Amino acid sequence: MDTRTPKRSGWGTSGIYIGARYRPAYHRRIELYLGTFLEVARRGNISRAAEALALSQTAVSWRIRALERQLGARLFARSGKGVRLTVTGERFMQHALRITDVTRQAILDAAQLAPEEDRITQRRPAKRGRKRATTAP
Name the helix (H) or strand (E) containing 118: none
Burial class (CB in 10 A: 0-12, 13-18, 19+), 27: exposed
| 8 A C-beta contact, residue 64 and residue 75 | yes
Q: What is the DSSP string of 3-46?
A: -PPPSSS-B-TTS-B--TTHHHHHHHHHHHHHHHHHHHHHHS-H
Task: Please report, for residues 11, 14, 72, 117, the alpha-carbon distance to residue 8 in angstroms, rounded to integers and kept in the order given.
Answer: 9, 17, 30, 33
Strand partners, 84: 77
| 8 A C-beta contact, residue 109 and residue 102 | no
What is the fold, at CATH topology level, of the domain defined by 27-69+77-103?
Arc Repressor Mutant, subunit A (1.10.10)
Per-residue pLDDT of the chain in tens (137 residues, 90 and over written 9): 444 444 444 444 444 444 544 455 666 677 788 999 999 999 999 999 999 999 999 999 999 999 999 889 999 999 988 999 999 999 999 999 999 889 888 888 888 888 888 877 777 666 666 666 666 66
What local confidence, expressed as pLDDT, does residue 11 receive?
Answer: 40
Reference 60, options 82, 81, 80; nearest CA is 82
Taking the domains of the chain in order of start, what are their residue ranges? 27-69+77-103
What local confidence, expressed as pLDDT, does residue 14 receive?
Answer: 44
